[in-house]
């Protein structure tokens, strides 16, 4: 253990960068049509917006059957082969969308993208554990989480901006073709870079967990659901990820018919955008602080604790300035809890394979988001955040690494 620091490979940043690119691209792929649903419906489905919405919903539904198989592949075949399945699907399907003549072609490509999601997103902690020392693991997971929202931000702002020009000249179909081309080429480049540059792991493990022999997935799943702290953390992810996704999805509803000092439609875009920007900052800053002080619990407590008053503020403030501040702080703390929580799970449950714990936690947020959106109520969400705060308080923090190791 004394030589771990000197064995850390600088190549880890290359691997991380390639993963960040492919994660961002995967988000761009599944959210491409969300900002331009009406335009896409007019071109591909005769005005049926529900059929276009299905293209995005597929990515969430894909988690249910493919989460555990993806985790098994990553844990047993390694990063290159396991994650490579998802990268190939995104690269090939993303590129083939350029040539889509009709909705059926698009649907087939989006099914491929949906299958790919768990193969890519279940690898956060595996990348961090395989390549990074313990004092950088949460930061690595934070940067990977940040790339999720970079992709989300690009697709939400760039897509409509590009199409606006083509709408103005009455060439919507040409505009959509340009968008598919601009997003499809990076998907292909990301796939090529992945197979050229990514390696499973360095020759010398950078930390004790990476060097430890892992148990099988079956044994690991049993261990996870017998682990007190993991079950509390699972509750946190069920509430936190699900509620945050629901708030972003229904943010226009939150401000509808509210007496604000700005148009409610503009308020939704501004506050939602600031939530994402705050999350980008928090995912890096708080993850780095968590690594520096080797503390996880306090950051999870802060995230759940801050969510309670901030969710109330989002309901009752009428000033766009105050709402914007609330949105930024909300995203800053809540999104940053994801990489800290994923790292905490690895440290609390090893030798359970990293992709298994990662996959279960990510799946929980996808599942819980659907009913929270369907039965959306901000008062209920505030109460749920209160429950999450109690769960965070009940966690046992990780032990600081021994200075003699």
CB 375 within 8 Å of CB 252 = no
Residue 177 above 90 pLDDT? yes
Residue 183 above 50 pLDDT? yes
Q: Would you state the pLDDT for residue 264?
A: 67
Q: What is the mean pLDDT of residues 300-309?
A: 95
Tell me which of 376 and 224 has the higher pLDDT: 224
Residue 214 above 90 pLDDT? no
Residue 373 above 80 pLDDT? no
Backbone angles phi, psi at 328, to 5 degrees: -65, -50
| Sign (positive or negative) of CA dihedral 120, 121, 123, 129 | positive
Q: What is the mean pLDDT of residues 125-153?
A: 89
Q: Where are the domains of the chain?
A: 8-204, 214-394
How far apart are the C-alpha atoms of 8 and 120, rounded to whole Å? Answer: 24
CB 206 within 8 Å of CB 4 = yes
214-394 folds as Growth Hormone; Chain: A; (1.20.1250)
Q: Would you state the pLDDT for residue 1?
A: 39
Q: Would you state the pLDDT for residue 400?
A: 56
| Sign (positive or negative) of CA dihedral 200, 202, 208, 214 | positive
Q: Would you state the pLDDT for residue 174?
A: 94
Q: Which of 88-92, 103-107, 368-372 has the lowest average pLDDT? A: 368-372
Going by pLDDT thresholds of 50, 70 and 90, the confidence category of residue 353 is confident
Residue 19 above 60 pLDDT? yes
Residue 110 above 90 pLDDT? yes
Closest CA to 365 of 394, 387, 335, 343: 335
Q: What is the mean pLDDT of residues 43-62?
A: 85
How far apart are the C-alpha atoms of 265 and 275, rounded to whole Å? Answer: 16
How far apart are the C-alpha atoms of 93 and 110, rounded to whole Å? Answer: 7
Q: What is the mean pLDDT of residues 123-127?
A: 90
Q: What is the mean pLDDT of residues 290-311?
A: 93
Q: Would you state the pLDDT for residue 55?
A: 86
Q: Would you state the pLDDT for residue 298?
A: 95
Could you tell me the two tokens for 86?
């998802």
Q: Distance of CA 79 to CAs 75, 83, 119, Å?
A: 8, 5, 10
The helix (run of H) or strand (run of E) holding residue 297 is helix 297-316
The helix (run of H) or strand (run of E) holding residue 305 is helix 297-316
Residue 217 above 90 pLDDT? no
SS3 299: helix
Q: What is the mean pLDDT of residues 178-193?
A: 96
Q: What is the mean pLDDT of residues 377-384?
A: 92
At the fourth CATH level, the homologous superfamily of domain 8-204 is MFS general substrate transporter like domains (1.20.1250.20)
Q: What is the mean pLDDT of the chain?
A: 88
SS3 for 35-87, per residue? HHHHHHHHHHCCCCHHHHHHHHHHHHHCHHHHHHHHHHHHHHHHHHHHHHHHH
CB 161 within 8 Å of CB 175 = no
Q: How many residues does the chain have?
A: 405
Going by pLDDT thresholds of 50, 70 and 90, the confidence category of residue 211 is low
CB 324 within 8 Å of CB 271 = yes
How far apart are the C-alpha atoms of 329 and 312, rounded to whole Å? Answer: 13
Helix axes 137-168, 12-31, angle to 10 degrees: 40
Residues contacting 104, CB < 8 A, separation 6+ = none
Same fold, 8-204 and 214-394: yes
Residue 120 above 80 pLDDT? yes
Tell me which of 357 and 268 has the higher pLDDT: 357
Closest CA to 83 of 34, 169, 160, 21: 21
Q: Would you state the pLDDT for residue 350?
A: 83
Q: Would you state the pLDDT for residue 260?
A: 79
pTM exceeding 0.75: yes
């Amino acid at each position: 253990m004394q030589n771990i620091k000197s064995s850390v490979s600088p190549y880890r940043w290359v691997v991380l960068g390639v993963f960040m690119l492919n994660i961002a691209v995967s988000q761009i792929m599944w959210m491409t049509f969300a900002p331009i649903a009406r335009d896409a419906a007019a071109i591909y489905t005769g005005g049926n917006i529900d059929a276009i919405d299905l293209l995005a919903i597929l990515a969430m539904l894909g988690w249910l059957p493919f989460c555990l198989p993806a985790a098994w592949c990553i844990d047993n075949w390694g990063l290159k082969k396991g994650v490579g399945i998802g990268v190939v699907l995104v690269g090939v399907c993303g590129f083939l969308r350029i040539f889509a003549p009709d909705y059926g072609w698009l649907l087939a490509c989006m099914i491929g993208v949906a299958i790919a999601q768990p193969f890519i997103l279940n690898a956060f902690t595996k990348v961090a554990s395989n390549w990074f020392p313990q004092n950088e693991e949460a930061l690595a997971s934070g940067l990977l989480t940040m790339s999720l929202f970079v992709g989300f931000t690009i697709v939400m702002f760039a897509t409509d901006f590009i199409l606006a020009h083509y709408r103005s000249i009455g060439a919507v179909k040409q505009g959509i073709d340009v968008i598919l081309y601009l997003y499809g080429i990076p998907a292909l480049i990301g796939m090529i870079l992945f197979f050229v540059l990514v390696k499973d792991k360095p020759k010398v493990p950078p930390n004790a967990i990476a060097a430890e022999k892992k148990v099988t997935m079956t044994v690991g799943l049993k261990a996870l659901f017998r682990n007190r702290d993991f079950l509390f953390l699972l509750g946190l992810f069920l509430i936190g990820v699900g509620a945050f996704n629901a708030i972003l999805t229904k943010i226009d509803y939150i401000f509808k018919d509210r007496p604000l000092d700005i148009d409610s439609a503009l308020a939704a875009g501004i506050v939602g955008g600031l939530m994402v920007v705050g999350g980008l900052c928090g995912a890096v800053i708080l993850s780095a602080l968590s690594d520096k002080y080797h503390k996880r619990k306090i950051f999870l407590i802060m995230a759940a604790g801050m969510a309670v008053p901030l969710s109330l503020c989002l309901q009752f403030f009428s000033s766009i300035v105050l709402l914007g501040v609330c949105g930024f702080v909300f995203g800053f703390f809540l999104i940053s809890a994801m990489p800290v929580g994923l790292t905490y799970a690895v440290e609390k449950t090893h030798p359970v394979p990293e992709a298994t714990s990662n996959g279960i936690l990510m799946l929980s947020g996808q599942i819980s988001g659907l009913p929270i959106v369907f039965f959306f109520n901000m008062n209920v969400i505030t109460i749920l955040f209160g429950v999450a705060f109690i769960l965070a308080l009940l966690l046992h923090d990780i032990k600081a690494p021994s200075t003699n190791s």
